[in-house]
Amino acid sequence: MANLLPVPVAKQNMFDHEARFAALGATALLVFGLVAIIVMMPSYVAVSSTDSATSTDPALAEQAKQDEAAIARAQALIEQFSPAAAPSAKGAAIAAALVLRPRGIRIQSVTYSAGMSGQASTLQLSGTAEANQEIEAYRRLLAAAGPFTSVNIPVTALVGTTRGEFTVTLTGTF
């Protein structure tokens, strides 16, 4: 059998088919990308929302104040009616570390390692900060107050090479 189309026409047809295939592939990738963006948008909005949003909306700020008051009342009732639930030394250390954190610091995990007979215990707090200055301020607060004998933060977290992520290692007898 012989090819009925001349060579230049056959090449042009092949080029047209390749162009259609490339356009179809690009369109499919574009559609998949848009679907991925639409699917991930709620997660992005949830993660990127900050506490500053509540300060701009008076209704949300009032609700936050009411929530804080309710939490304070619940804590007072727990302390009053449950003397057996007194915090341990390690619970007090964790509470002290969490209470001292500035507003832009978010703690994501807490790891406690008990010291062996006479050795200091360690407490690691991992989280994120909106600015490196907040990490340094948190380090100063922890060093000045609380039952901690040493407060260590890697230099990379303080100079900003970790994009706001940090780990604080606290040692002490707790």
For residues 106 and 78, state if they share a domain. Answer: no
pLDDT for res 25: 96
- Going by the DSSP 8-state scheme, the letter that residue 119 receives in this structure is S
**SS3 of 95, please?**
helix
CATH of the domain at 132: 3.30.1360.100
Residue 2 falls inside a structural domain: no
Please state whether 163 falls in left (phi above 0), alpha (psi between -120 and 50) or beta. left
- Dihedral Cα 102, 106, 109, 111, nearest 10 deg: -10
pLDDT for res 39: 94
pLDDT for res 76: 85
For residues 102 and 170, state if they share a domain. Answer: yes
Distance from C-alpha of 56 to C-alpha of 58, rounded to nearest angstrom: 6
For residues 147 and 67, state if they share a domain. Answer: no
- Domain that residue 166 falls in: 88-174
pLDDT in tens, the chain (174 residues): 566 888 899 899 999 999 999 999 999 999 999 999 999 998 888 887 754 444 567 777 788 888 899 989 988 888 777 655 556 778 888 888 888 888 888 999 999 888 887 788 899 999 998 888 888 889 899 988 877 889 998 887 777 666 788 899 999 887
For residues 105 and 166, state if they share a domain. Answer: yes
For residues 54 and 44, state if they share a domain. Answer: no
Whole-structure pTM value: 0.48
Please state whether 124 falls in left (phi above 0), alpha (psi between -120 and 50) or beta. beta
Structure token pair of residue 41: 């948008």
Residue 131 falls inside a structural domain: yes
pLDDT for res 120: 86
Number of domains in the chain: 3
Provide the 10 A C-beta neighbour count for residue 168.
23
Residue 1 falls inside a structural domain: no
For residues 112 and 152, state if they share a domain. Answer: yes
Residue 33 falls inside a structural domain: yes
